Amino acid sequence: MNWLVVVAGGVIGAPLRYLTDRTVQSRHDSLFPWGTFVVNVTGCLVLGTLAGATAVGPDLRLFLGTGLCGALTTYSTFSYETLRLTETGAGLYAALNAVASVVLGLGAASAGLAIGEWAWS
């Protein structure tokens, strides 16, 4: 029955990703894929917090980590948007997207780990 917990998280994460992406992107008149960037960094923070929270049970880990974060974050869209930026001559935006996504994603995961260890351990 673990798969049902994952599905439940995905049912929330997928529309949350879509709505967040559309909302954030509509507020920026830029080639930079702000919507995808925001959902990915946010997902890193949530997953880092979950990893640091040792008191959290396995069902909540499956729901939030695999289900919600798995559906919320998107490596494929990040890759596609970065490639499209390169193909359209926006190489600086592509490089900025790649570097900032990795650096801020790792930073958010590290911050989340510290938050999780502090708050739930």
Could you tell me the pTM of the whole model? Answer: 0.94
Q: What confidence tens digit (pLDDT) does each residue in 65-95 have?
A: 999 999 999 999 999 999 999 999 999 999 9
pLDDT tens, residue by residue, 21-59: 999 999 998 999 999 999 999 999 999 999 999 999 999
Share of residues in the chain with pLDDT > 90 (%):
95
Over 90: is that where the pLDDT of 18 sits?
yes
State how far the Cα of 99 lies from the Cα of 89, in Å rounded to an integer.
17
Alpha-helical runs (H) found in 1-121: 2-26, 34-52, 58-61, 70-72, 75-87, 91-120
pLDDT tier, 120 (very low <50, low <70, confident <90, very high otherwise): confident
Do 71 and 40 contact (CB within 8 A), yes or no? no
Distance CA 108, CA 40 (A): 10
